[in-house]
Structure 1
């Protein structure tokens, strides 16, 4: 499979917008959705970003790389040194590195990446059927 970089770039940008929107409108969203939505979208953005970078990788490998990246970032939040906390105190640093470890984030990352992988596999299956 060879992914279309333009499509993955557009999806990445759309997901970034949705993720920022989920933070902006968190006061009107249900608590359950607030717990998972932003982090699931962040993980989805990582998946589409990996899809953009690694066009020829299988979906499952892309998912594993994406999930590993998300988990490393999340577990890095257990480490608190002055230099990394200063980075986290910036807007971009906080969005990328997060602030504190939460098991719910691990769940959200898994949900977001699993959803993206499922959608990609579904689309690939539809494309294969059309070509037959």
Structure 2
């Protein structure tokens, strides 16, 4: 059975995750746990929804794996400090996407974000849960 996702809905989910991530840093940055970790979890969730938009027929598990590989790759790229890469990071958008310094805890946050995306997509999306219950 082929999986089909409503791309427009997932673009909306990308936007919501993006806004929630930015809000977590701006309005809750002073709260230790939320300020440090929520933005990274939401970043990975946004990436997951982005892949759902780009690859609407892929199973949620594969999309979670691709999200992890992409997110871990971005985090690993923070160990590279070439001038051209630093120039990209110096822009607001480049800094938001690429980050600045490698932090081990970010890998855990990305894993949690991918897991949340997987669970939401596989079990909570309207109409999708009926397919799971029929197994």
Q: Report the TM-score when normalising by structure 2.
A: 0.90
Q: Residue 12 of structure 1 contacts residue 45 of structure 1 at CA under 8 Å; is this kept in 2?
A: yes
CA RMSD between the two structures = 1.8
Structure 1 residues without counterparts, runs of 5 or longer:
none
CA contact (8 A) 2:13 2:49 kept: yes
Could you tell me which runs of 5 or more consecutive residues in structure 2 were left unpaired when the two chains were aligned. Answer: none
CA contact (8 A) 1:35 1:104 kept: no
The structure 1 residue matched to 2:18, chosen from 1, 7, 16, is 16
CA distance in 2, matches of 1:79, 1:126: 42
Give the match for residue 98 of structure 1: 99
**Equivalent runs, 1:16-95 vs 2, <5 Å:** 16-28=18-30, 30-95=31-96
In structure 1, what is the Cα distance between the partners aligned to 2:4 and 2:32?
A: 38
- In structure 2, the CA distance between the partners of 1:60 and 1:131, relative to structure 1 (3 Å rule), is closer
How far off its partner does 1:102 sit? 0.3
Alpha-carbon separation, structure 2, partners of 1:16 and 1:102? 21
The match for 1:107 is: 108
- CA shift digits 1:87-109 (9 cap, x unpaired): 10110010010000000110100
Query: Number of residue pairs matched?
Result: 131
Structure 1: which 4+ aligned runs deviate by more than 6 Å? 129-132
Q: Deviations over 1:48-84 (max 9, x none)?
A: 0000000000111011111100000000000001111
With normalisation by structure 1, the TM-score equals 0.92
Corresponding residue to 1:126 among 114, 126, 129: 129
